[in-house]
A and B are shown apart, each in its own frame.
Chain A
Amino acid sequence: MVVEEIVKTDSSILKERQDFILHKQAGGCSGDGMRCDSDSVSGAVSQRACVYCGARVVLNPITDAFHIVHGPIGCASYTWDIRGSLTSKEDLYRNSFSTDLRETDIIFGGEKKLTAAIEEVMEKYNPKLVFIYATCIVGVIGDDVEAVCRTLSEKYGNHIIPVKSPGFSGNKSTGYRMACNAIMSLIGQYKTKEKVKGVNILGDFNLAGEMWIIKDYLKQIGVHVVSSFTGDSSYESLIAAPSASLNIVQCAGSSTYLAKQMEETMDIPFIKVSFFGVEDTTSSLIRIAEALGDEKARQKAIAFTESKAKEIQDLVERYKQNLIGKKAAIYVGGGFKAISLIRQFRSLGMETVVVGTQTGKKDDYEIIESLVKEDTVILDDANPAELETFMIEKKADILVGGVKERPLAYKLGIAFCDHNHERKHPLAGFEGVLNFVKEINSSINNPVWDYIKE
């Protein structure tokens, strides 16, 4: 069956969802593209999380902050230390603090409980930085979280920052923005005219030590890193950020908003970079040196990337022989990741046949469309039914996705690559390229698939 027919007639595609699916046509551009960036369709079983989730993803890697969830227990329980952000020092962020609102709090309000909680934390630990995440119900029951934070910040002279993240107020991207606002409200107080020659890294959460890899690369080429957002960061490191002379933005979806605000209010220009794949990593390192106007660093970057690329080249080439011609399906959080994955697969001789994201924007999808071959299915905010239908139709050999999608792939007899926040091996940089290829190879070429095909 052709894709158009499936979209129009198959029961796995809801009418309201049809516009969110695009079939890449011969000759490239399909005109208006597809619908995206809107509310999830009720009952469709979206794979998206909520605003609170987005905010917590961005802020939680700040290692020495108290991350307090103001709300019922579930929100804190399901997000406790589930992500692989690593720390080199403090590990407070690996705790999940919750005001654990109960029935009586819903009736009488939770402000008192929140106040008592913050006061206790302040008096016992006197942390420099506290985030209060407001969840779905706190606005509804009338808690004024901002007022509580303001009053107590004044009382203790510390930073107690509200994060406006009721789950229903948008999607994960809204949460990213709320987190960026929270960060701005902190570092905005430390603006400085005196700049040092060095960069801030934005949009890397030190999953599996990726921030450390990138920092080491920059050290090797002689570029000073002032601060990082937010992987392995701390209060002290964050407030140093305004003195940087350049921001480099890795996860564009979550952090461009922050970079733009820093550019406007702190006079720090930014460039976007990517450390996924050999080519992206290479051009990013060289670009950073160029943006700093540092010819010496640029020469070092050229030499460094050449030698690193050479180091892994042979092994990657050998794995590639195992993978050429295989078909990939991609379902990830943001456009940035999907785009870089399509390229990485291409460099391995693999074709992407289905690609979708939870929160991609219009221009992300335009790029995706121009990148993939014709006949590829592109999905926004896909659900399990659509993923199932198109992965089968397009005969995908492997799915790259999040934890929820993994069992689906397995049930369909499809290999899987974990490109999510819980992974425990780095996928960034040159090391990451090797890990990625190894993982793809070991899943796709596992003998188990021989038995199910019998």
Chain B
Amino acid sequence: MKTKVSSLVNLNTNPCKMCMPMGAVTALYGIKKCMSILHGSQGCSTYIRRHMATHYNEPVDIASSSLTEQGTVYGGEKNLLQGLKNLITLYEPEVIGVATTCLAETIGEDIKRMIEKFYDQNPGYENITIIPINSAGYGGTQFEGYFKALYAIVSQVKMKQEKHNRINVITSGISPADTRYLKRIFQLFELDVILLPDLADNLDGAYKKSYSRLPSGGTSIEDIQQMAGAKYTLFLSNMEPEKSPAGYLYEQYGVPYERIELPVGLRAVDRFYDLLAKISGKPIPEEIKEMRGRYLDGMIDAHKYNGDGRAVIYGEPDFVVSTTRLCVENGVMPVAAATGSVCSQLENLIKEDIDLLAKRYLIERYEIVQDTDFKNIEELAQTCQANLMIGNSDGRRIEEGLNIPLVRRGFPIHDRVGGQRLRMLGYEGSLNFLDEITNAILARKETGFREELYNTYYKEKMEDKMEEVKKDVPKTGAAFTKEEMEEKTKTHPCYNCGAHSHARMHLPVAPRCNIQCNYCVRKFDCPNESRPGVTTKVLTPEEAFEKYKVIKEKVPNLSVVGIAGPGDALANFEETKRTLELIREYDKDVTFCLSTNGLMLPMYAEELVRLGVSHVTVTLNAIDPKIGAKIYKHVNYMGVRFTDESAAAVLLSNQLIGLKLLVERGVICKINIVTLKGINDHHIPAIVEKMKEIGCYITNIMPFIPVEGSVFEHNPVASNKEINKLRIQCGQTMKQMFHCKQCRADAIGTLEDDLSLQFRGCGGKEKTEGTSKALRFAVASKSGMFTDQHFGQVSELYIYEYKEGRPVFLEKRKIDKYCAGSDECGQGEDKISKIIKVIGDCNGVIAMRIGESPKEKLKEKGILVLATYDRIEDAVTMASNKLLS
């Protein structure tokens, strides 16, 4: 059973955000020859590196000042200064970003002062630009951390104020591929830009013959210095951050700026190109106009499919705004838009857009939430009936759990490759993104519509279907004579109460199953059917045949061989067939029986008759698909997985058809019915009636035994009294079985005496205890696998015996360390005597190494000393051979 957790007031359940240092180092990765160091404990940088490395598929090196307990108490200055020096040696950067973490901020580290001190102490390093960034993890999310770093860069780098004609372009977090797109577009408009940051190469580098551990792309410090003299700043972001780098350049140096939204979706891209045309004084190039037309064409092509989409959009605020607008433009309804950041602007930015679509589609409810977590997003996806999610790969657990497809965009993408190359900017990126969204909607439709329509509209009655089949059944008559059947049934312990002295054997040759019953966990032996879950060992047909021969010799009253699992006999028909053929060739008289869920019976009934199967047991728990739907989780039939009522209907119709076919051919059919209280118990008399009508021989109403981990784990159990009452009641309709033992798939013997355990792994001979005297050894081992320890360092010894040509582990013995440190070593005399006392009964000592003094002592006592590094077993054998030779 799984606990369903709902969203909590006082806890963030499954964070939909990361911390500030993550954003800060991401921005720093867009600076040329820049290395970053996190001032804090080691884990922060390691976790961030892991997160980035899996998304970008690039080596991500971020240093840490590796604060320890001491640094936390007395301040981490020494660590940081040393760390800066070390990373300069290793990476030779021109720029270093020093970002603080929760810990550094909490203990009040003044990194600005420390950096000054570093310059003072290291005169050769003044040409390295070191930028302090205060980015306490608790101060905001990666979204804020990213802008804090950009702000720190423009405000800390020494600027050159000479005016020039270049244009600053500052972007919020975009992918390396989108960065490359922007750079191409600026070239197209012949704009000379300073792009901050520039992630294009550093987080999506090319493979090169020689590797440079400090990537060489990114915005150069010289360019950054020129930002103060630029004629204009274009700020691509859906919102103005609290600390705006563009705002700073304006206030400080009078560089005018315009912020426009990220160019995602038709309207935003149009505005972007119009603005570029205005700034550059150049008309929009033809190829861009062409691309616009192609995007529009794509929008039209996809629009009808998009109308089915009900999307949950989540992630960083900027991402949510852009994606929401793109969705709205294309008629994909955003039923929920959510960010983990605190972002009060979010609602204002997208409400109007969503409202418009909601009105057109007559959709009443949608949600815009900020400062939220994935648990809440999951609940929104359910309550708002989403059929699509758009966001980073952290939504994959919801995708898996609720079976809602996820279009992956944003950061991080951990379960797919190519996160660094995902596009959404420009007409091309928007089209790319839109195609993925539409295809997710389409994929769902294409794979689901058959089943959905069948479930909704197919109402034809089971009986009609039966009539049809009746017409088709060839009446070939009984395959067994009446006398034959009487004899076989008399000696079959599962069919005849009087046959208890006859033994039967179940051969577990059928591992797979094609249906999932709610009372069964296939991993375990299922006590509910004579087709149990997994037995101790599945046999191949050949092994099964060998086993049969052995058992037959030892249990002469063996009269019945059954195939009963551990899966379904007919879901493994090839194995079942081969087994029966082999045995039949060897023994003409043995009775074959088989139990099955009946799903494949119509297909194999005739073949079973041909193989000489005279008795078939079908577990049939309902003759009403409505009731069956509660019992069967799914049914795999002809390559399709059926669920709910359609699953039960498919199963039932095949069971009924199959049974008819068998009865026609004179096969004795037994019906097992598992009594499920509150589900089918009242329905059982009706099942028995139906079975009587078909012509089955006996029904076996069985108690339900709950299996741990199954859906019915906690369902109520009918008492023996209730079961017997049912049996007596149904006994008036037809013959009832009163003696079922619900045996295992590998059951052997009479019902009273399951011999299976005795015969398991059959063919293995019991070895008898030897009488020869054993040798005993003390082994020094750290790993427990090898003789890999110094004798002087043991605190315990593994004691082994060597007998009958095999080493055998006996026990572990503790001893005081012979040599626990130099000051104690003088008392070695006493210690070695102590050890010898502990291992006095041993013939030898084996260790990786051993000192001369203890070696002599042991030799004096007649104890063999072997110094070797080897697998323990091999070493013991080696030592024994020495003693025995």
- Which residues of A line the B interface, CB within 8 A? 11-12, 14, 16, 39-53, 64, 68, 71-82, 88-92, 94-103, 105-106, 113, 116-117, 119-121, 124-125, 127, 135-137, 140-141, 166-171, 219-220, 249, 252, 269-274, 279-280, 283-284, 286-287, 290-291, 295, 298-300, 303, 336, 339, 363, 366-367, 370-371, 383-385, 388, 402-404, 406-408, 410-413, 452
Contacts and interface: CB of A to CB of B under 8 A. Distances in A.
Contact of A45 (B64, B211, B397): B64
Contact of B793 (A117, A270, A363): A363
Nearest to A39: B68
Q: Which 6 residue pairs are nearest across A and B when measured between Cβ atoms?
A: A50-B43, A272-B784, A43-B83, A43-B86, A74-B19, A42-B83
17 contacts: A11-B90, A40-B42, A44-B86, A48-B42, A72-B137, A90-B2, A90-B3, A99-B10, A106-B138, A140-B72, A170-B69, A273-B785, A283-B872, A291-B811, A303-B764, A404-B60, A411-B59
B10 A74 contact: no
Given A47-B46, A137-B106, A370-B848, A42 B82 contact: yes
Given A74-B19, A137-B103, A102 B138 contact: yes
A273 B1 CA distance: 32
B831 to A, nearest CB: 20
B207 A411 contact: yes
Given A41-B86, A72-B102, 8 more contacts: A40-B64, A43-B64, A68-B11, A105-B138, A106-B106, A121-B8, A300-B764, A363-B782
B62 A45 contact: yes
B812 interface: yes
A447 B95 CA distance: 39
B533 to A, nearest CB: 13
A117 to B, nearest CB: 4
Interface stretch (B47-55, B239-247, B454-462, B505-513): B47-55
B82 A74 contact: no
A48 B9 CA distance: 34
A388 B848 contact: no
B102 A136 contact: yes
B315 to A, nearest CB: 13
Interface string B76-95: 00011011111101111000
A28 to B, nearest CB: 10
Contact of B769 (A81, A127, A295, A407): A295
A43 B37 contact: yes
Interface residues of B, number: 110
A92 B5 contact: yes
Interface in B531-575: 536-537
Interface in B295-312: none
Contacts of A274: 783-785
A121 B42 CA distance: 31
Contacts of A136: 40-41, 72, 101-103, 106
Contacts of A116: 9-10
A385 B783 contact: no
Contacts of B811: 269, 291
A403 B51 CA distance: 9
A406 to B, nearest CB: 7
A227 B211 CA distance: 48
Contact of B53 (A121, A140, A404): A404
Contact of A100 (B15, B213, B812): B15
A158 B767 CA distance: 50
Nearest to B43: A50
B869 interface: yes
Contacts of B883: none
A77 B103 contact: no
B86 A42 contact: yes
Given A14-B89, A169-B69, A274-B785, A78 B83 contact: no
A408 B67 CA distance: 26
A263 B137 CA distance: 41
Contact of A121 (B11, B58, B63, B798): B11
Contact of A89 (B2, B59, B785): B2
Contacts of B211: 388, 411-412
B318 interface: no
B774 interface: no
Contacts of B15: 73, 76-77, 80, 96, 98, 100
A169 B54 CA distance: 27
Interface string B1-36: 111011011111111011101100000000000000
Contacts of B597: none
A125 B786 contact: no
B261 interface: no
A279 B13 contact: no
Given A137-B106, A140-B103, A167-B41, A92 B85 contact: no
A253 B19 CA distance: 31
A14 to B, nearest CB: 5
B873 A14 contact: no
Instruction: Give the interface centre of B67, B86, B523 by most chain A CB atoms within 10 Å.
Output: B86
B589 interface: no
Contacts of B12: 73, 76, 97-100
Nearest to A15: B89
A39 B47 CA distance: 18
Given A73-B12, A78-B18, A44 B41 contact: no
Contacts of A53: 43, 46-47
A117 B19 CA distance: 21
A235 B18 CA distance: 31
B80 A42 contact: yes
A220 B782 contact: no
Interface string B503-535: 000000000000000000001000000000000
A399 to B, nearest CB: 12
Contact of B783 (A49, A113, A339): A339
Nearest to B765: A299
A260 to B, nearest CB: 9
Contacts of A11: 89-90, 92
Contacts of A370: 788, 848, 869
A50 B41 contact: yes
A366 B792 CA distance: 14
B65 interface: yes
Contacts of A287: 784, 809
Contacts of A404: 46, 49-50, 53, 60
A166 to B, nearest CB: 8
Contacts of A78: 18, 47-48, 50-51
B681 interface: no
B107 interface: yes
A375 B324 CA distance: 59
Contacts of A135: 102
B107 A140 contact: yes
B686 interface: no
A406 B53 contact: yes
Contacts of A336: 783
A76 B16 CA distance: 10
B709 interface: yes
A316 B626 CA distance: 51
A167 B42 contact: yes
Contact of B11 (A97, A383, A406): A97
Contacts of B47: 49, 53, 74, 78-79
Nearest to A80: B14
Interface string B697-720: 000000000001100000000000
